[in-house]
Amino acid sequence: MATQKSFLKWVGSKARLIPDLMQVLPRSGAVLREPFAGSATIFMNTDYETYHLNDANIDLVNTFRFLASDCDAFTNELRSLFIGGNCVATYQQRVKQFNDACDSREKALLFNYLVRHSFNGLFRVNQKGFFNAPFGNYAKVCFPEREMAFFAEKVTRAKAVYFTANDYQDFLKLHISQADEGDVLYLDPPYVPSSQTADFCSYTGSGFDGFHQRVLHQYALMFVAAGNQVVLSNSDTAMTRKLYSGQDIHVVDVRRSISCNGSRRDKVRELIVNYEQRHVIDQAIGLG
């Protein structure tokens, strides 16, 4: 089955990982929860009855909401930003507009313009929350009309799709009490950097360090102990190998989606971790 691409050009998109991921993550079922929904590539390539899609990036989540409720109008408004928008002067002007904007719809529209026109599709903010990724200088920027229509149509096909913009811990604390046996949890956190120059996880202005990786691992153990299937993806490093030791680990080679040298995107190793019930009973602890 061909991979359905997201309407977003997104660092961390799972498009290249989908063929391997679908060997571990069930393609269909009753409920799928994602605290790190990102580009919604998993949503667009699976067929669950109910989805809980969460991301800490409010502009991303508002994009989901506007496409789900008002796809045609949102698409037309966004198209107007793309016309004549592929130049550095316009880009810089819209960076300022985005950083100054308060209206959620205006910010969502500008957000989508920026991730299509920034260098390598990078959405990066500083500690104050201001977008600061450089201009991409592409010869041509594609407008993702078909992908946006597919997203909106898929929302209508599902029994229910819930969009939230919470911190991952708040999301998981809420859903651990709601999850039924057999539900699926997919975890795609900001990856552990494979090198000192490979850290591109500043999507929300707050970092995701080793402490958060370990906290997330404990939540995964708790969900599995409650009867859920949990699948996680991360980079292949000494830290992740140690953290997920004892679980069912699949090592895959994936071409980079971002590189300082856009013409050189070598393959990197990533881990797909399938948490297994028999390995978690003695490891799971409460987090309060």
Q: Is residue 155 part of a domain?
A: no
Q: Which domain holds residue 199?
A: 17-56+166-285
pLDDT of residue 197: 47
pLDDT of residue 16: 87
* 159 marked among binding-site residues: no
Other beta carbons within 10 Å of 253: 12
* 20 marked among binding-site residues: no
Which CATH number belongs to the domain containing residue 136 in this structure? 1.10.1020.10
pLDDT of residue 10: 83
Answer yes or no: are the C-beta atoms of 187 and 55 closer than 8 Å: no
Answer yes or no: are the C-beta atoms of 250 and 23 closer than 8 Å: yes
In which residue ranges of the chain is pLDDT below 70?
195-206, 256-265, 278-288
Q: Is residue 156 part of a domain?
A: no
Residue 41 sits in the same domain as residue 180: yes
Other beta carbons within 10 Å of 206: 15
pLDDT of residue 230: 98
- Tell me how far apart the alpha carbons of residues 190 and 218 are, in angstroms, rounded to a whole number: 16
pLDDT of residue 282: 52
Answer yes or no: are the C-beta atoms of 44 and 149 closer than 8 Å: no
Residue of 262, 173, 183, 254 whose CA lies nearest to 216? 173
Residue 257 sits in the same domain as residue 229: yes
pLDDT of residue 287: 56
Residue 61 phi, psi dihedral angles, 5° rounding = -65, -40
Residue of 255, 287, 280, 288 whose CA lies nearest to 270? 255
* 253 marked among binding-site residues: no
Total domains in the fold of the chain: 2
* 55 marked among binding-site residues: yes
Residue 274 sits in the same domain as residue 178: yes
Long-range contacts of 285-288 (CB under 8 A, 24+ apart): 285/218, 285/221, 285/222, 286/222, 287/173, 287/215, 287/218, 287/219, 287/222
pLDDT of residue 14: 86
Is the pTM here over 0.85, yes or no?
yes
Q: Is residue 230 part of a domain?
A: yes
Mention every residue, 6+ apart, whose C-beta is less than 8 A from residue 160.
49, 50, 51
Residue type, 106: E
- Each residue's pLDDT tens digit, 186-214: 999 999 987 654 444 444 555 789 999 99
Q: Is residue 197 part of a domain?
A: yes
Q: Is residue 4 part of a domain?
A: no
Q: Is residue 2 part of a domain?
A: no
pLDDT of residue 285: 52
Please report the sign of the dihedral spanned by the C-alpha atoms of residue 55, residue 149, residue 31, residue 221.
Answer: negative
